[in-house]
Structure 1
């Protein structure tokens, strides 16, 4: 499964939250900005939606850059992003989506890109995509914004949101085919920009993995006694009486004449006798044996979870100082 992480950047009332509601095909994920122009987003909020082709899009809606109520500095915005992402250890952002309203008279794109550069470093512009929202006031403004994107070498996409009809108050969902085309175009554009590596979180992740491996390797090997059964062949003796025959030489008178003259002759007869003998039968029996085996150590994920809780908690405390 492919996961894409995008950050939404832009002033209030440019359609960031409406973008999330549209792409997630829902209208109640977050409250959109009011007509008074006041910011409604002061925390990092996350929405995950499934796209076609087995892709998952993780959307992080950030506190408004140049917040209308000046509640957050740009440094605090970055801190909130890292604070939020540290739990999942998301170490890269696939794209920063910089929103610009075609309906507004002001052009905030240059300022927001400059603010992004100040906040995340000059390399962040390589990870930016300008999202042009709402109905254009004039073709000239649209061409002007496209030219600015070209000059800044930042790709741009047009995006139409689902919205509430101003006259009737009826929710108008975007045509599914148009939404699919918009999403595919956006995903293609994301594939053309450079991932922004969150070096602080990458270092945190590396530290967690290193410590988890150290703890696993340092844990002494435990042994347990295992029993197993084997078949042992043996010979079983059997003693039995066996009847045999043996020759016996005997004498007898050699006829009637022999009796008178005292002459005998010998002859052989066979007589039975009993003798004990031992025979052996092949047998087998089960024997139980024991041996010591090493107990497998817990998987590395077990140690990662333990260290992660410790390190992430410390990281967040450090951010909040």
Structure 2
């Protein structure tokens, strides 16, 4: 499954929250900011939505930059991002979606990109996609914005949000076919830019993995006694009586004159007798034996979960200092 992480960046009232409401097709996921310029996003908000083709999109809605009500510095915005992302150990952002309203008179794109550069480093512009929202005031403004994107070498995409009809107050969802085309166009732009690595979070993840492996390796191997059976061959003796024959020499008086003369003659006869003999049969018997078997260590995920809770908590405490 393809999984993408995107950050929403931009001033208030440029359509970031409406973008999320549109893409998840829910009016009430986030309250849309009013015309007073106040942001409705004081903390990082997270939304995950499944797109067609098995794509998963994780959206992180950030506090509004240059927000007069929130009074958040750019450093504080980055801190909030890292604080939030540390829970899931998200170590990379596939794209920063920089929102610019076609309806507004001011052009905030250059300033927001400059702010991003100050906050995340100069390489961040390679990970940006400009999202142009709302109905344009004029074709000239649209051309001007597209030219700025071209000069800055940042890809741009047009985006229309679902909205509340001003007269009736009825929520009007975007046509599904149009929304699908918009999403595909957006995904194409996201895949074309360079993924931004969050070095602090990558270091945190590496530290967690290293410590988890160290703890697993240091844990003494446990053994358990197990029985097993083997077949032992042996010879079984059987003693039995058998009838055999043997020659016996006998004599008898000779007949006639021989008897009168006291003469005898000998002869041999076969005589039966009983004897014992031992016969051996091949046999086998089961014998139970015991041996020590090493108990498999718990999976590395077990140790990662333990270390993650410790390290993420420490990371968040450090961010808040």
**Normalised TM-score (structure 1):** 0.98
1:71-220 equivalent positions in 2, closer than 5 A: 71-220=71-220
Write out per-residue CA displacement over residues 250-277 of structure 1, whole angstroms, 9 at most, x where no aligned residue. 0011113221111111111121111111
* Alignment check: 8 A CA contact 1:48 1:58 kept: yes
CA displacement, residues 53-75 of structure 1 (integer Å, 9 cap, x when unaligned)? 22210000000011131431111
* 1:226 to 2:255 alignment: no
Contact 1:251 1:266 in 2 (8 A): yes
Contact 2:39 2:70 in 1 (8 A): no
Separation in structure 1 between the aligned mates of residue 256 and residue 87 of structure 2, nearest angstrom: 128
Deviation per CA, 1:8-65, whole angstroms, max 9, x where unpaired? Answer: 0011111101111111122221111123221110000000011122221000000001
Contact 1:12–1:68 (Cα < 8 Å) also in 2: no
Q: Which ranges of 4 or more aligned residues in structure 1 deviate by more than 3 Å?
A: none
| Residue of structure 2 equivalent to 1:30 | 30
Q: Structure 1: which 5+ runs fail to align?
A: none
Q: Unpaired runs of 5+ in structure 2? A: none
1:63 and 2:68 equivalent?
no
Distance in 1 separating the partners of 2:151 and 2:35: 32
Residue aligned with 2:256, SS: helix
Shift in Å at residue 222 of structure 1? 1.6
**Alpha-carbon separation, structure 1, partners of 2:27 and 2:226:** 60
Q: Which residue of 1 aligns with 2:246?
A: 246
Question: What is the aligned-residue RMSD (CA, Å)?
Answer: 1.0
Deviation at 1:212, TM superposition (A): 0.9
Hey, what does 1:301 align to over in structure 2?
A: 301
Give the stretch that moved more between structures: 178-187 or 63-72.
Answer: 63-72
Match of 2:287 in 1: 287
Match of 1:258 in 2: 258
What is the rounded CA distance, in whole Å, between the counterparts of 1:22 and 1:132 in structure 2? 14
Q: Distance in 2 between matches of 1:32 and 1:232?
A: 81
3-state SS, counterpart of residue 292 of structure 1: strand
C-alpha distance in structure 1 between counterparts of 2:194 and 2:286, whole Å: 67
- Quote the Cα distance in structure 2 between the aligned partners of 1:155 and 1:67: 25
Query: d(CA) in 2 for partners of 1:75 and 1:187?
Result: 28
Whole-Å separation in 2 of the counterparts to 1:298 and 1:149: 52
Any conservation in 2 of the 1:243–1:272 contact (CA below 8 Å)? Answer: yes
User: Which stretch shifts more, 203-212 or 216-225?
Assistant: 216-225
TM-score of the aligned structures, taking structure 2 as reference length = 0.98
